[in-house]
Structure 1
């Protein structure tokens, strides 16, 4: 279950696709950001207060967690971010069939992670608590996958979160042809996913047995995400009145370039 704290942020720079050097040659994508999370987040007590002073640029890399060290770093970040919110969590990131774990790094530190779980020989994590609802979707011919184990460190710019989500979407929709994301979230955070990604709640609140906390089940059709990316992806500061998170995704053109790179570069293929 996700414990990501909802936010709304304004970003004034587009993604910068960088030439590869020794540090980012194995990255799926690399980009620079002149802001940290705390510099652009709207404050809890003043929804109109946005701090926009710039700080030193940071280079971020989105990678697949292929090594034991990378998976251990992702596990430690998950444990840190979940435990401080009081969740009971013991979720090591291991090299499992039908799962891919992405990590976001900067200055050799893991600052974000997200795992994509896909339907196949093994069930989805959400089957543990919402199996009946998922089976209904499967009976309709929908191909399901589940973004899970999301953790973002403090002071990380929102474009890192957007990049993790978008690369997971590319794997799910463009490369492997899945049709729907299903997401278990704490009810406190459901509003964020509804507003910012267009998710819809499809099951009432239950206890998520993996973290011993309440959860609801959300769903978003990947065809809907494709439409929103086509309309708003890459707009950044030019998003107008659009209040979703999609302006902070890659543009449709950039998405196509990333998709081709993943297809030709030897990508993860789930066991069917």
Structure 2
């Protein structure tokens, strides 16, 4: 039975795109408005996934990241690092005033990626092959919600922005070595950079993981929208291709 799906109602559920100065824009990156996408969940009535507004979400996002990092024995660093960057977009999952999930996408460009500090040589190898990279950072989800459902929604919307809007080819992420198995098993990441001390999390150990988004394309087509607990893959909690296409059409309308 499908457990993750947009809630249809009299109000159009699809995202609206705004780029006006009054709507905390991300230049060049269409974002999901606060009333844009509502999800039904197996353990809560519904929740929204939308672009973070630094003015209304900044403090809640900072507290969530600090709490979840501290639970793992890590230091979160500067939670506001990305909020004003035009090459970044931060999504939040919330119900009312409760922000319980967040993730930030950073596009590669002249300023590079945060992972360049430790893994510049590894990333240079992929750039030489004309890879279009992005980086996932500041991922945090409270476990009192269905973590797989929330992660599926957040990751799929990151995929839509990076792959379908910006033509990306690969995702990289720095993670603690003890968490690497989850990303490999559930999403198909592979390790391309060995263990090093990461200064952004108080010199905790990190490894660099890489994901070819062609694998994501295939897994969404195979498992997206099924919500199958028997599939040992996070892609079962992604949206279906049809729902994805509706969201993409709404985000890119008029662009």
TM range (shorter): 0.7 to 0.9
Measure, in 2, the Cα distance between the counterparts of 1:219 and 1:27. Answer: 33
How far apart are residue 71 of structure 1 and its match? 2.3
TM-score (norm 2): 0.85
Q: Which residue is 2:183 aligned to?
A: 193
Q: 1:71 to 1:265 in 2, by over 3 A?
A: farther
Q: Which residue is 2:130 aligned to?
A: 141
- The match for 1:27 among 24, 35, 40 is 35
Q: CA RMSD in A?
A: 2.1
Measure, in 1, the Cα distance between the counterparts of 2:254 and 2:59. Answer: 25
Measure, in 2, the Cα distance between the counterparts of 1:224 and 1:33. Answer: 26
Measure, in 1, the Cα distance between the counterparts of 2:49 and 2:249. Answer: 16
How far apart are residue 12 of structure 1 and its match? 5.5
How far apart are residue 188 of structure 1 and its match? 0.5
CA shift digits 1:151-180 (9 cap, x unpaired): 111311121111001100110000011110
Q: Which residue is 1:174 aligned to?
A: 164
Question: 1:1-272, aligned counterparts within 5 Å?
Answer: 13-19=3-9, 20=11, 26-35=34-43, 57-93=44-80, 94-157=83-146, 158-211=148-201, 212-237=203-228, 242-264=231-253
How far apart are residue 70 of structure 1 and its match? 1.4
**116-125 vs 63-72, which moves further:** 63-72
Q: Which residue is 1:48 aligned to?
A: none
SS of match in other structure, 1:61: strand
CA shift digits 1:166-217 (9 cap, x unpaired): 1001100000111100111111011110010000111111111110211111
Measure, in 1, the Cα distance between the counterparts of 2:72 and 2:236. Answer: 29
CA shift digits 1:241-269 (9 cap, x unpaired): x3211111000111111111111277xxx
CA shift digits 1:54-75 (9 cap, x unpaired): xxx4211001013422122212
Where in structure 2 are there 5+ consecutive unaligned residues? 16-32
Measure, in 2, the Cα distance between the counterparts of 1:262 and 1:143. Answer: 21
Measure, in 2, the Cα distance between the counterparts of 1:140 and 1:156. Answer: 40
**257-266 vs 212-221, which moves further:** 257-266
How far apart are residue 28 of structure 1 and its match? 3.5
